[in-house]
Amino acid sequence: MRLNKYIAQAGIASRRKADELTKAGNVKVNGIVIREMGYDVKPDDRVEVNGRLLGTSEKPVYIFLNKPKGIITSMSDEQGRPTVADLVQDIPQRIFPVGRLDRDTTGLLLMTNDGELANRLAHPKFHIEKTYRAIVAGVLSEKKQRALRNGVDIGGFVTSPAKVEVVRQTEKSAVVDITIHEGKNRQVRKMFKAVGCPVKELCRTKIGDLYLARLKEGTYRKLTRQEVEYLKGQK
């Protein structure tokens, strides 16, 4: 939908006024000032006018999706590939994913229409821990575990201390729980690659203290009130 129509439908201004606001630099899409009046608003775009996030009059909704493999963490895909939007179609509100999981990573994905919480959780200052269960190739020796715990170079970036626990080690592979509080692109995969044990399977099992638990892949559940309060209380 064209940006001016989108703004007008939110009850903020007429289309002409919306164009003026856009030209004047008062409109942001996903945190970036957009001056292009013909901008086409995508389903997962977050549009702000004078700092006010549109679409927030909807009832807030918070869900955990257990993302399956092969699904893109986005509300739309130009190439028509399956996205998480396909799995939450029965939710009437305009929700969007908070952070992202790689196409081949499974597990816990928070989705909400609460832009304020999403912005806070996405801020680099915000260090909520995320735990992943990885199946990695090879033997994850004590030395390699120590390297992961202390920080490894993943190409121009040295990771912060991580928690690493080997759940099971066989001759050819290991099951490992790893907890990090940064969110570099493909970080966990790059960390294990850096120590010579590439990831074969990756699943996010926890965000902070909140668990995936027994949620079937491809399904979602609403967060409890306590879980929402917990996320809002993170600093």
What are 131's strand-pairing partners?
179, 206
Q: Which of 4, 66, 112, 187 binds ligand URA (CB under 6 A)?
A: 187
Q: Among the candidate windows 7-15, 90-98, 101-109, 221-229, which touches ligand URA by CB under 6 A?
A: 101-109
Closer CB to ligand URA, 21 or 207, in the complex: 207
Q: At 62, is the secondary structure helix, strand, or coil?
A: strand
> Does residue 66 belong to the site contacting ligand URA (CB under 6 A)?
no
Tell me how far apart the alpha carbons of residues 225 and 204 are, in angstroms, rounded to a whole number: 22
Q: 27 or 202, CB closer to ligand URA?
A: 202
**Which residue lies nearer to ligand URA by CB, 46 or 67?**
67
For ligand URA, what does the binding mask look like between residues 142 and 181, x meaning CB under 6 A? ----------------------------------------
Q: Mind giving me the DSSP string for 102-122?
A: -TTEEEEEEEES-HHHHHHHH
Cα separation, 101 vs 12, whole angstroms: 34
61 binds ligand URA (CB under 6 A): no
Residues 49 and 207: their CA atoms lie apart, in Å, by 31
Q: What is the largest CA-CA distance in the chain?
A: 67
Q: Is 186 in the site for ligand URA (CB under 6 A)?
A: yes
Taking the complex as a whole, the smallest distance from the CB of residue 191 to ligand URA amounts, in Å, to 8
Instruction: Give catalytic residue positions.
Output: 102
Distance (Å, rounded) from C-alpha 154 to C-alpha 1? 39
Query: Rule CB under 6 A: is residue 101 a binding residue for ligand URA?
Result: yes
Residues 29, 9: contact at Cβ < 8 Å? no
Nearer to ligand URA, 101 or 197 (CB): 101
Q: Is 20 in the site for ligand URA (CB under 6 A)?
A: no
**Residue 45 CB, nearest distance to ligand URA (Å)?**
22
Residues 117, 207: Cα–Cα separation, whole Å = 14
Q: How many CB atoms lie within 10 A of CB 107?
A: 23
> At closest approach, how far in Å is the CB of 104 from ligand URA?
8
112 is an interface residue for ligand URA by CB under 6 A: no
- DSSP designation for 73: S
Q: Which of 60, 55, 75 shows the shortest CA–CA distance to 9?
A: 55
Residue closer to ligand URA, measured from CB, 41 or 111: 111
The residues that touch ligand URA, with contacts defined as CB under 6 A, are 101-102, 105, 186-189, 202
